[in-house]
């Protein structure tokens, strides 16, 4: 059952996942900063006030989130889907042969599985971090939940695979028709710039399970 509370919690979750407050999310989407304030969620008479489809469309466009991602937040909050089995391998294994098809979807038999709630992308997968090479953002044992279907925008944390088979977890700084600029999540490692033709795929990290 879709409830008023589920919708608003999904908006709050979307804001939090992009490092924003509800008012910051509204501003980024070109809306009045008070659009998503808690005081706007009920009328003075105590009746539920629902966000408009236009405002939801604008925040999805502003964040690059897909409808499936937003619905996933609703299901996670409302209990519509308890969990989904995601294929998982070690981050260090991801560059090996046979783990991804040409479209960047997980394939083959070398994957384990992990239960995770609220993910609606059927091609989502998880990478388990080992070691301290990506501290302080990612630590040993963290699971990066990755969605090939999620839109990718500047500032997103992403998993990138090159045509040479190298897999890296970075922050997307800029993407153009000619190049992809990536920022390292560990300041002791250099940032890098790749030619677009050298990138096989880019997937967004939608969650980190710690």
- pLDDT, the chain, mean: 87
Alpha-carbon gap, residue 119 to 85, rounded angstroms: 9
What is the per-residue pLDDT across 2-25, written as a single tens digit (0 to 9) for each? 678 888 888 988 888 888 889 999
Domains by residue range for the chain, with CATH? 4-78 (1.10.260.40), 84-209 (2.10.109.10)
On the question of pLDDT at 41 being above 60, the answer is yes
Q: Put the strands of the sheet holding 179-184 in their side by side order.
A: 112-116, 84-90, 125-128, 143-147, 199-209, 157-162, 167-175, 179-184, 192-195
Greatest Cα pair distance, the chain, in angstroms, is: 62
- pTM, two decimal places: 0.64
Alpha-carbon gap, residue 209 to 144, rounded angstroms: 7
Please tell me the predicted confidence (pLDDT) of residue 4: 84
CA atoms within 13 A on the CB side of 133: 11
Going by pLDDT thresholds of 50, 70 and 90, the confidence category of residue 150 is confident
Q: Is residue 160 within 8 Å of 199, Cβ to Cβ?
A: yes
DSSP state of 197: G
Please tell me the predicted confidence (pLDDT) of residue 80: 45
Q: Is residue 86 within 8 Å of 41, Cβ to Cβ?
A: no
Number of Cβ within 10 Å of residue 172's Cβ equals: 19
What integer is the mean pLDDT of 74-103? 78
- The residue ranking higher by pLDDT, 74 or 147, is 147
Q: What is the CA radius of gyration of the chain?
A: 18
């Amino acid at each position: 059952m879709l409830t008023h509370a589920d919708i608003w919690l999904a908006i709050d979750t979307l804001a939090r996942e992009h490092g924003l407050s509800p008012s910051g999310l509204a501003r980024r989407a070109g809306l009045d900063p008070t659009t998503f304030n808690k005081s706007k969620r009920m009328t003075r008479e105590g009746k539920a006030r629902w966000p408009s489809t236009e405002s939801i469309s604008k925040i999805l466009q502003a964040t690059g989130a897909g409808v499936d991602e937003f619905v996933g937040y609703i299901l996670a909050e409302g209990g519509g889907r308890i969990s989904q089995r995601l294929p998982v391998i070690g981050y260090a294994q991801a560059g090996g042969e046979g783990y991804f098809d040409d479209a960047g979807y997980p394939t083959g038999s070398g994957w384990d599985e992990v239960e995770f709630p609220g993910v609606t992308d059927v091609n989502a997968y998880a990478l388990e971090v080992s070691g301290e090479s990506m501290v302080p953002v990612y630590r040993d044992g963290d699971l990066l939940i990755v969605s090939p279907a999620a839109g990718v925008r500047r500032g997103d944390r992403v998993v990138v695979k090159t045509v040479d088979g190298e897999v890296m977890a970075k922050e997307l700084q800029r993407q153009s028709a000619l190049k992809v600029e990536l920022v390292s999540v560990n300041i002791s490692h250099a940032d890098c710039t790749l030619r677009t033709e050298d990138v096989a795929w880019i997937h967004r990290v939608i969650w980190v399970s710690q």
